[in-house]
């Protein structure tokens, strides 16, 4: 599916539906309540408050540009169009999920069909893997680019530094997107990141770098993304965008984010990406309250159906796990043979 027009507002509107889904993800289906009532268990790292980054970046891509994502992947999945029922079933650990229930929330976005081939929960690990994807694209002389998302926590890992350096020296077609939401779990980035900014680290490797200081504005993110993508697709090597945004909730579903100053949280709440973008679209007459209401209704229905189907779906048979280990070869061992 290609966005209908190059006008930023039309393009963004195309993804607006995704944003609205996201707006409703948690409150409508009460994800948190589901977790605490035991319907959903395990780790879950919501994307609340960061929606402008997913929409702004992914709107500037081709639908077949491979995306490498992280444990905080729900926003990427939704904007890319991974069906809601497949994501929900994965969160419920059912066989109808994107990963047959074997990955859960942290890997739910992984969908080859939607060109999200890597969703990894080890901080920083997506970066060297993205180098391999970029290498394959370069080797085959393709026009596609690889796009790897990671947080502020990733930029101090060895993997990040090895990957950036390699991508720069081999001029790999990769867009590095740092979703700097100011905290790696409870650790503020300015306490652990040396240097003037995260974007300057890209520049240190000679990579064309952008700093979007208000990445809660869809248009700012989108503009930077367009420039970065153009640079890469023209064969100029990788690019790097640092997006400064904020988590509206804690690191994970069990974390309230109590370690963050209340004034800081309030300051970012006032910059809510969805509200701001909605207003921009209303002012330009692209959206009106009635249209918004109808969209929200249909999306709520879609969501409720996804939950219903997920609750009813079966779990994979344990014995089938062995068949997933190797493409070919006997995985069964000892008493499991």
How far is CA 207 from each of CA 54, 130, 174, rounded to the nearest angstrom?
A: 22, 15, 10
Q: Is 238 in the site for other proteins (CB under 8 A)?
A: no
Which is nearer to other proteins, 86 or 272 (by Cβ)? 86
Which is nearer to other proteins, 144 or 244 (by Cβ)? 144
Q: Is 314 in the site for other proteins (CB under 8 A)?
A: no
Minimum distance from CB of 137 to other proteins (Å)? Answer: 7
Instruction: Mark residues 38-67: x for contact with other proteins by CB under 8 A, - for none.
Output: ----------------------------x-
Cβ pair 323, 102 in contact under 8 A: no
**Pick from 18, 69, 120, 245: which binds other proteins (CB under 8 A)?**
120
Alpha-carbon distance of 92 to 336, in angstroms, equals 27
Alpha-carbon distance of 40 to 104, in angstroms, equals 10
Alpha-carbon distance of 61 to 143, in angstroms, equals 11
Q: Is 260 in the site for other proteins (CB under 8 A)?
A: no
Which is nearer to other proteins, 8 or 135 (by Cβ)? 135
Which is nearer to other proteins, 88 or 99 (by Cβ)? 99
Q: Which of 223, 198, 222 is nearest to 211 (CA)?
A: 198
First to last CA, the chain: 46
Minimum distance from CB of 45 to other proteins (Å)? Answer: 16
Q: Is 136 in the site for other proteins (CB under 8 A)?
A: yes
**Pick from 46, 81, 93, 101: which binds other proteins (CB under 8 A)?**
101
Q: Is 258 in the site for other proteins (CB under 8 A)?
A: no
Q: Which of 46, 49, 61 is nearest to 15 (CA)?
A: 61
Q: Is 105 in the site for other proteins (CB under 8 A)?
A: no
Q: Is 177 in the site for other proteins (CB under 8 A)?
A: no
Minimum distance from CB of 239 to other proteins (Å)? Answer: 18
Structure tokens at 269: 């709440």
Cβ pair 12, 54 in contact under 8 A: no
User: Which range, of 166-174, 176-184, 231-239, 258-266, touches other proteins by CB under 8 A?
Assistant: 166-174
Alpha-carbon distance of 70 to 109, in angstroms, equals 9
Beta-bridge partners for 149: 177
User: Which range, of 42-50, 109-117, 181-189, 212-220, touches other proteins by CB under 8 A?
Assistant: 109-117
Crossing angle of helices 273-283 and 16-29, rounded to 10°? 140
**Pick from 41, 62, 162, 302: which binds other proteins (CB under 8 A)?**
162
Q: Is 317 in the site for other proteins (CB under 8 A)?
A: no
Alpha-carbon distance of 327 to 306, in angstroms, equals 31
Alpha-carbon distance of 70 to 106, in angstroms, equals 7
For strands 174-180 and 118-119, give the pairing: unpaired
Q: Is 321 in the site for other proteins (CB under 8 A)?
A: yes
78 contact partners, CB below 8 Å, separation of at least 6 = 18, 21, 22, 25, 54, 84, 87
Q: Is 112 in the site for other proteins (CB under 8 A)?
A: yes
Q: Is 173 in the site for other proteins (CB under 8 A)?
A: no
User: Which range, of 123-131, 185-193, 226-234, 254-262, touches other proteins by CB under 8 A?
Assistant: 123-131
* Residues forming the site for other proteins (CB under 8 A): 66, 97-103, 107, 110-112, 117-118, 120, 122, 125, 127-137, 139, 146, 158-159, 162-163, 165-166, 169-170, 321, 324-331, 333-335
């Amino acid at each position: 599916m290609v966005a209908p027009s190059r006008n930023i507002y039309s393009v963004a509107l195309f993804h607006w539906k995704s944003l609205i889904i996201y707006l409703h993800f948690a409150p409508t289906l009460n994800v948190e309540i589901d977790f605490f009532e035991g319907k959903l268990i395990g780790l879950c790292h919501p994307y609340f408050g960061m929606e402008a980054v997913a929409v702004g970046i992914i709107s500037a891509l081709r639908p077949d540009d491979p995306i490498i994502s992280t444990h905080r992947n729900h926003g990427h999945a939704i904007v890319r169009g991974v069906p809601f029922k497949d994501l929900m079933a994965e969160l419920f650990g059912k066989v109808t999920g994107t990963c047959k229930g074997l990955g859960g929330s942290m890997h739910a976005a992984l969908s080859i069909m939607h060109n999200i081939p890597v969703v990894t929960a080890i901080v920083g690990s997506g970066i060297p893997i993205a180098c391999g994807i970029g290498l394959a694209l370069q080797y085959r002389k393709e026009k596609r680019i690889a796009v790897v998302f990671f947080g502020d926590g990733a930029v101090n890992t060895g993997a990040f530094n090895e990957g950036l350096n390699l991508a720069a020296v081999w001029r790999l077609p990769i867009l590095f997107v740092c979703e700097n939401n100011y905290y790696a779990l409870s650790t503020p980035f300015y306490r652990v990141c040396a240097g003037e900014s995260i974007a300057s680290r890209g520049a240190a490797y000679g990579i064309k770098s952008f700093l979007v200081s208000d990445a809660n504005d869809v248009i700012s993110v989108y503009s930077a993304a367009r420039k970065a993508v153009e640079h890469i697709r023209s064969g100029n090597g990788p690019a790097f965008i640092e997006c400064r945004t904020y988590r509206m909730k804690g690191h994970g579903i069990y974390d309230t984010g109590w370690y963050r100053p209340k004034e800081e949280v309030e300051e970012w709440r006032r910059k809510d990406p969805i509200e701001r973008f909605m207003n921009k679209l209303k002012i330009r007459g692209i959206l009106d309250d009635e249209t918004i209401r109808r969209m929200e209704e249909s999306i709520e229905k879609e969501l409720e159906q996804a939950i219903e189907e997920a609750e009813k779906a079966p779990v994979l048979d344990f014995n089938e796990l062995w068949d997933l280990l190797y493409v070919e070869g006997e995985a069964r061992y000892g008493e499991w043979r």
